[in-house]
Each structure stands twice: as structure tokens, then as C-alpha cells.
Structure 1
């Protein structure tokens, strides 16, 4: 399939996807006035979302000045622009029939990726496996392969808070006629008992691939009698009294999240290990133990459920390889010192990754449609196993040239083109 698609330049991908989605209009707040302004926006995406800075990108794009790229980078840091542009790309990718073979859009997985950086960055921490300082980017991926949420995090911290926050931030923006997430798959670092309780009360299941056998404990309410087949496994007791004591305050906490008074990440951060002894923490922790027991029963007894969860997590690992191809270097010494700049780096990197995914999905759909016309044998279960994260056919390096002329009608204001003709 990818032999039929053929090789391409990353810059050509960017322009073609922009012509289909008009994400540059979301970044600027309007259509570009001329080709120079559009190139500056693309250059700002490169400067934020890859290892290059404004000066390096300027050297790769003929005809641009460093000041143009710098001004565009500051404009992209404005709240919501990159997120809106990313949403347009996701909607375009999910609109293609082939995406429905990969999933229904109601399940997701999440994981973090580490970008190497200077030890002088205030949010940088040592990643002990590689002995490098880095900053984390925590991303959420739909079962249709699209990255729908990202946020910079401090590595080595528990990731349950950003995991739950990403799903709630996504669900609260969905209309009544749109699909909401019902399941999030995470690894051991992305859960706590309290987080499982908060997630369930917010309307979705937090499913975790547990690494340590010591965490695979079964819990029952005090006074209950376990079945004979589970007598050896049940090692813990849950206090219903603690759940009742903190239940009303726990519901108030959920209501505060739904009303926007605080985020899910802030709520779970307050229910960390330092909150032991608090009635709300005790209620959430005890309820989370029961939910984890129900999850483990499903995990060990339903092979289809276990296979689906592992497939979601494995897709997340595949996404990381593509993310490394887009951003394979280090964050510059002078980059990421402001919170808004660090968020722009994270979201621009996610947007560029989604551009590759959306372009691959579009070309894969074209090949499938062509095969159907030619009566070429093709099975849906075969397509389900092919993901749009292939990148060996993409050239990410070298001199960057944007072939905008073919898409000028979709990307540049009509008045500007008329004035150019008159001149």
C-alpha cells in the first residue's frame, strides 16, 4: 500500500493537509494575506514542533526572515489557536471511512514521551533509564490513531492526573450528537486508586496494564464472603464506612470539575499520597480498590477485552516512533522557559504528528478506493492491522519549499490575490 502511495516531502504534506482542513486559518484567526505570511506560519510550526529554532528554520526556508518566524511563534502561543487547528486535522482524519475500521472513537490510550533538554530548565528532571535531563509530553490517542490532547508534564511524577484530565477535557467539549470517550488505557504509571474512582464518576473507565504482581490484588468489602475460587486471591478488605463518610464531599468534587471550578488534574493532585487521612481521599481510594478489582476480573477472564486494551497501548508506542521522527533532537537551552512557550512546543509537535497521520490516512483511503474500483481483493480485517503512522516514505530534512500555488485558492485571501494581479 505504501509503495503505491510513494515518497513525499514533509512540507508538501503540511500544505496539502492545510488545504483540506484550513488549520492555518485557525492559527492566524483569518486566512493568510499572502504567501509570505503563510510561510511564516509554517515556519513557526517547524520552530515550535521540531528541534529547530527560529534561526535554523529560517536557514531552511528561502525568503523568510528570523523576525517573521519569531513573530509568528509568539502568535501561535495565544491560547486555543494550536488546539483549534489540531481539532480540524482530527475531524478531517476521522471523516474518512477507513478510520472507522480502526475504531469507533470511544476508546483511547495515553502515555508520555520525553524530550531531552537542558538541566537548567525549571521543569527538567533526570530520566534515570537514559541518564538525560528531559521534559515530558503527555499525549492521548484515539483508537482511530489521532492525537487529541497533549500537555507538558514533569517526568518521574505520577501521571494519573494528566491521564484523567485529558479525557475530561475532551469529553466536556463534545456535543450531544458526538461520541464521548468511555475507556482510557494507561500503563502502571498512569493510575492511582483515587484516579480510577474519579474517572468512573466522570463517566469513563480507567484501565491499567499493571506491571507489578503486588498491585494485582483483589479487594472485597469487609464482612463479605469471597467465592471458593477467589479465596486465595482476595488479600485486601475495603471499608464501606470510609466510602460513606466521604461520599458527599467526593460528589461535590466531581460537580466542581464538571462546572469548571477546577480541572480533573488539580482534583487528582489534591488526592495524592499527601492527602492520606482526608475523608475524600479515603473514600476515593477505597472505591478505587473495588473498581480495580472489577477491572482485574474482566482483564483476566475476557480475552477480547485484554487484547483490545493491549492493542490500544501498543498503538501508543507506535506513535512515539513517529513523534521521534518529527522531533528527534533536544529542546534548545533558551526554549521552554515560559509556560505558554512549553505548551506551544507540546501542541505544535502534536499537530505536526497529526499532519502525518491525517495525510497517510487520506492516501490509504485513496488506495483502498482505487482497489475497490479495480476489483482488487482486499479484506477489512487486513486494513484494521495497518496503521497510518508509517514515516519511512517521508523526508523530514533538507531545504524546505512549500508548493502553495496549487492550493492558493483555499489558503490565501481572494482580495490579496486580486490586488497582486492589478499591481
Structure 2
């Protein structure tokens, strides 16, 4: 390996290259003893183990430490391999400065760090002083400062009996329908099946029954063979051929975008939101009982290995993006993937996550890309506000303040930060790839530190907003509840094989998650259509249906949908079309 690969490094890793060169020479010559001045670029703790009590270097331990150190450097990007795709030089992933410049200008970011720091510094100083005064007067709703520690009252769910009664009435009026009929009806109205084109010819699928059965096989975790056995109107060979020719990751993304855009255009979807806010959360699925399915173990979910479907849901309740990630992987790097690459007409401005999706890097990139990032932080009282001025400038809240922002690092790395932001905005790189690469650094490099310092500024401003604005706390709590509702529907659909992921490849797992997301989006669209019809019927009978109560209903219900049983595709295709509401006999006669 050492002879075949050509390693290169930046200024800070010259000793590592020297150690590799010495190891090459020793292997070629067959020598066993190391010179006394052999380079040891690894940790000090390792050096104490490598060097014996007699002062001689143990060759075997030195070689192991050098290779382990090289592995860490390759993972971090401090060392790269010439002509490699996976271990390239870090800045080779980014756009060049001339190409990134117009993109950054369109985002409204200043070309120099001085302008940005001056503006942010003034705002941060004013906000901290204002917060200190309001905190001293106990003028913050739900926030108290006792014994040098913040006490924040939890957000309470307000019971609304009228809204619950209205939701029950609408649910009772929804037509009873099979999932096969629902998918055919939504496909007929939106045309989302046209996104599934033949890999070779580019033509749409001529067999809609087979295509919908293939999608539902992914969504329910039933599999193609069992779907064919439970279906009428499709065969196993048809499903296998359809899956190979038409099912791809980009086809699923395009079809989901068609559904989300169609739902966004429905006037009734506006009762829940205008499509400018969203939330994201991960849902754990256990792997197969026997054998490896590519999943990892997370103690939070028990002893079973598995994976997580990380999904973005808009305020209109529609899931517009999904990623399959390891259960042991931090969720934060994937927050920006959904916000920047969803490909729909949604204009997301504000995004909510729980603590697992929050890091200072995400705060920094969200702010610079134009998103307001609002996580619900579990350890909020333990986090420190980061000032740019001296801590002594805010004596009354000094216990709440952490270290000062290192503005010098931001100034030095500003050009590289802008290149990274421009590359993400242009879609040149995936945010998760860059954030995971930065997180893998054994020692933080300067770009990583600069992003973290920018993130501390943005996080401090957000924390002040959170403490001063109870409406923001309630919005975030309500937004995250949308993700929880989607999780419940997921568990109702993804039931076969005990809801376990049996696929070994990441590609097959992504198909499962994408098919599930597509079916949920179809259900949300269908429910919205008929909830609108039910609300109009109630209004025609002089029953008051105010929009402020409709806002507390949800199109994620499924009690009226039959997910299992025989899948009668021919009958579903023949009966595709608008259904009548499920009205009481006296109401129907009237």
C-alpha cells in the first residue's frame, strides 16, 4: 500500500510524510532498527509507549502508531492521496474563488470579515445588554435567573376541545379507501408517476399497476416477491423488471417533488402553513435479526443494530426530503442536506430540530445560507452565551457567558468560509459530506475553528431570541410535533418483516425510505383534498369551521385507509377518481 499510494500533506503534516518515507526505506532495505531521530508525528501518549525505558524506539510499535496516525490524517483530510476520489485535498471539493464569488454576493454576505464582524458585533453587544436588563427586572416570560442559573418553563400543550371536536368530525367524513385506490387516485390527479422513466429509453412506465406495486413494496417493507403473491393484476417478473428499469434515487426525488409541489398548490394546505417553515428528525429502524444489514448499534435504542430515516417535514405536513443514516451517526450534518437539495417549490426560511440536529457548524452555515435555525436544545441552561467583547462588559450575567469569540480566526479564514458556503449553495458539494469531513479532523484545522466561532455568534443570538420570545418556543415545539405525527404514520405503513431493515446495501435502504416518504406524501395530498371537501360541506350546512381551528387538524391521519390485505390493482385502477364523503344517511339524503 505504501509503495502504491502517493501521499501529500499540508504544512502541518510534514512529519507524517517523513515518517511514511522512512517506513518505505526500511521496508525496501530490510532494516529493523530505527535511527534515534526517527520522526514521531503521533500523540505524546503514544510516544511514551513507543520509546522504551532504555531510550530505544520499538520498531513494531512505531510502525503501528505511524499507520494509525496516517489513518486518522486521511480521515481528517490533513493528508490526501494523489488521483484519489475519496481522499482528495479538502479544498479540491470546493468551487474556485472566482466561481464562488457571485454566489456569495447573491446571498448578501460581505466580501471581508471586518464588515460582517462589525455588524454582528454591534447587534450582539446590544442584545446582550438588553437581555441583562430584562433578566434583572424579571421581565422575560417563562424565564427566571436564580443562583447564577437560568430556569426556563417548559412549553405546555394548550387543550382545545373545539379543535379536537372539529378534527373528529372531519375524520368521520373521510371516505374509507384502500391504499391501492388512494395511490391510483393521487397518481391520476398529480401525474407523479411520469417522474419514473426508463433508465435506457427515458420513456415513462407503461404499466402503472406494476410501478405503484413496486413503490408500495418499498414503502411497506413487503418486498417484490411477497407483493406479487399478495397482488392481483401484477406478476413477480413484472415487478422485478419495473424495479430494475424505473426505480432510482433520482426518480424517487423527482416524483416526491411533483407531489410536494401539487400539495403546496392546494389552497387548503395554507391552513397549516405557507411552506416557509419545516422540521427534521430521525426515526430508528432495527436491522435484520440475523446477519449484518449495514446498521450500527446505538445504546439509545437498545442492543439491536439498525439505521435511521432522517426526514424533513414542512409546516404543511408534507415530508419533502429523506436520508438514510447510520444509527450511530450524528444527525446535525444532514440538516442542511434537506434544506438545500430538496428540489421543490417550498421556500423554507425557518427550520426546527431537536438537540441531535444542533451544532455550532450548522448554526453558522444555516445563517450564512439564509435559513433561520431554531433547535429545541435539551441542555439549554448548560450552554454558555458567547460575547465578542470582554465578559466584564456584562457583569450581571457573567456566569452565563463563556469564552470570547476568536475574531482573528474568522478574519483569517473568511475567504475559505465563503468558498464553502458558495459551494454548498451551488450544489457543488453536499453539506453533510463537508461537515462530516470537518468533524473527522483529529485536531481542528483553522477553517473548522472559524466555522465554530461563527456558529457561536449565531447560536448566542438564537439563544437570546429563544429566551426573549415565548412565541418562538411554541412554534418550535409545534413544528417538531409535525415530525412526531409523521413517525406514527410511518409505523402504521412500514409494518412487514416486523418493521426491520433487511437490505444490506445503502442503495436498497434508500429505496425503502424514499418509497415510504412518497407514499406518505400521497396520503397527505389525498387527505388534504378530502378534508377541504369535508370542511366545505360543513360550511354549506351552516356549521362554523374557522381557520384558526382548522390549523390544529392534520392531514396525517390514516384510520380510514386500509394498508394490508389483498392488493387489487386492476380494481383500484378501474375505480380511480374522486370519492364521495362518508356522510350520515340523513345528511347524504339532504
Question: Is the pair's TM-score, using the shorter chain for normalization, greater than 0.5?
Answer: yes
Cα deviation for residue 75 of structure 1 reads 2.8
- Match of residue 391, structure 1, among 541, 549, 558: 558
Asked whether 1:23 is paired with 2:200, we answer no
Counterparts in 2 of 1:225 and 1:105: CA distance versus 1, 3 Å: farther
Asked if the contact 1:335/1:341 (under 8 Å) is kept, the reply is no
Contact kept in structure 2, 1:276 and 1:282, CA below 8 Å? no
The structure 2 residue matched to 1:311, chosen from 478, 483, 487, is 478
**Which residue of structure 2 lines up, in the alignment, with residue 212 of structure 1?**
379
Structure 1 residue 216: Cα displacement: 2.4
Rounded Cα–Cα distance in structure 2 between residues aligned with 1:140 and 1:333: 21
Higher relative contact order, chain-length normalized (CA < 8 Å, sep 6+): 1
Residue deviations 1:227-280, cap 9 Å, x none? 454233113322111211221111111122233331111121122152643111
CA-based RMSD: 2.2
Could you tell me how far 1:373 is from its partner in structure 2? Answer: 2.7
Post-superposition shift, 1:183?
1.4
**What are the superposed Cα offsets for residues 7-50 of structure 1, whole Å, 9 maximum, x if unpaired?**
221111111111111122222465553xxx22111111122111
The superposition leaves residues 335-361 of structure 1 with CA deviations (integer Å, 9 ceiling, x where unpaired) of 533333222111111001111111111
Q: Which residue number corresponds to residue 96 of structure 1? A: 266
Deviations 1:39-89 (A, max 9, x none): 111111122111211111111102322111112222343342111111121
2:66 aligned with 1:66: no
Is contact 2:385–2:460 with CA below 8 Å preserved after alignment?
yes
DSSP-derived class of the 1:11 partner:
helix
Report what 2:332 is aligned to: 160
1:39 aligns with 209
Q: Give the secondary structure class of the aligned counterpart of 1:104.
A: coil
Find the residue that maps to 1:274 and give its secondary structure: coil
Q: Residues of 2 paired with 1:101 and 1:275: CA distance?
A: 48
Structure 2: segments with no counterpart, 5+ residues: 1-169, 578-590
Compute the displacement of 1:291 (Å).
0.9
**Alignment counterpart, residue 464 of structure 2, candidates 294, 297, 317:** 297
Report the equivalent of 1:139. Answer: 311
Secondary structure (helix, strand or coil) at the match of 2:555 reads coil
Q: Is the partner of 2:402 in helix, strand or coil?
A: strand
Alignment of 1:260-279 (within 5 A): 260-272=427-439, 274=441, 276-279=443-446
**Residue 38 (structure 2) aligns with:** none
- State which drifts further: 227-236 or 159-168: 227-236
Secondary structure of 1:341's aligned partner:
helix
Aligned to 2:368: 201
> SS in structure 1 opposite 2:404?
strand
- Verify the 8 A CA contact 1:222 1:240 in the aligned structure 2: no
Q: Which runs of 5+ in 1 are unaligned?
A: 409-423
> C-alpha distance in 2, partners of 1:31/1:259?
29
Looking at structure 2, the residues matched to 352 and 197 of structure 1 have their Cα atoms a distance apart, in angstroms, of: 34
Deviation digits for residues 312-367 of structure 1 (CA, Å, limit 9, x no counterpart): 01111111000111102448999533333222111111001111111111110111
Q: In structure 2, how many angstroms separate the alpha carbons of the residues matched to 1:250 and 1:156? A: 28
- Residue correspondences, number: 400
TM-aligned CA deviation for residue 295 of structure 1: 0.6
Are positions 1:125 and 2:292 aligned together? no
Query: TM-score scaled to structure 2, two decimals?
Result: 0.64
Q: Contact between 1:356 and 1:389, CA under 8 Å: does it hold in 2?
A: yes
Mapped to 2, the partners of 1:186 and 1:276 lie a distance apart of 28
Rg larger in structure: 2
TM-score when scaled to structure 1? 0.89
